[in-house]
Amino acid sequence: MSEHTTSSPILTRRDFLSASAGAAILFAVNGFPAGALAAEIHSLPPLPYADNALEPVISAKTMGFHYGKHHKAYVDNLNKLVAGTELADLSLDKIIAATAGQPDKAAIFNNAAQVWNHTFYWQCLKPGGGGEPTGALKQQIEASFGSMDACREELAAAAATQFGSGWAWLVQDGDKLKAVKTGNADLPLTMGMKPLLTIDVWEHAYYLDYQNRRADYVNAVLDKLINWDFAAANLGA
């Protein structure tokens, strides 16, 4: 199974910039303002759909807490932590690059990475999603995993087996696609991998709707919400 877990990201600036190339453009093109990754004071970007648009898979109540409380708290905490520091004027991706793997900057990294992860995650979902991708993305999935079913199984397994809080990702690693998982705020950018899709498996992403049934949440997201168009745009960036 093509899984990778990390708790202490190892980063080179070249790998990070390569993996994150085009991120600001994709956020703007796919429904978030370019300021979602801008310098200055970081702000909570608007959702690309109404807070009830993902029902019944993800309820408006869950979105209210997840986006309106958790995501907002990461933004607010980040602004407080970087105020008056050398990081204050840096863009979100540069803050992540500057703090990854540094224990004395763990709080800044965790909040910056969670802002990035959540901004990315909202675009990985869409009403009427699911199904299968087409074109170059489907071809590369089949070349890397053997079939779409195998890709789906590996993504679901990565999400189900992430111990505790974290994320499951479809990533581009060189010329191959992989399903990987990261704990807490960690993200593939710090390993030089380009994220194509993610599924949030922190409990606040699903507990109000699914309680301890994480697998049901993951399968529902893959079947009905996953945004393959966003993944294809990331692949082509």
Judge whether residue 206 has pLDDT over 50: yes
First and final C-alpha spacing in the chain: 26
Structure-block tokens of residue 21: 């190339």
- Give me the pLDDT at residue 20, please: 52
* Confidence bin at 41 (pLDDT 50/70/90): confident
What ranges do the domains of the chain cover? 1-36+58-237
pLDDT digits (tens, 9 = 90+) for 49-102: 999 999 999 999 999 999 999 999 999 999 999 999 999 999 999 999 999 999
Residue type present at position 188:
P
Q: Which residue has the higher pLDDT, 59 or 28?
A: 59
Q: What is the mean pLDDT of residues 184-204?
A: 96
Per CATH, the number for 1-36+58-237 is 3.55.40.20
Considering the entire predicted model, what is its pTM? 0.85
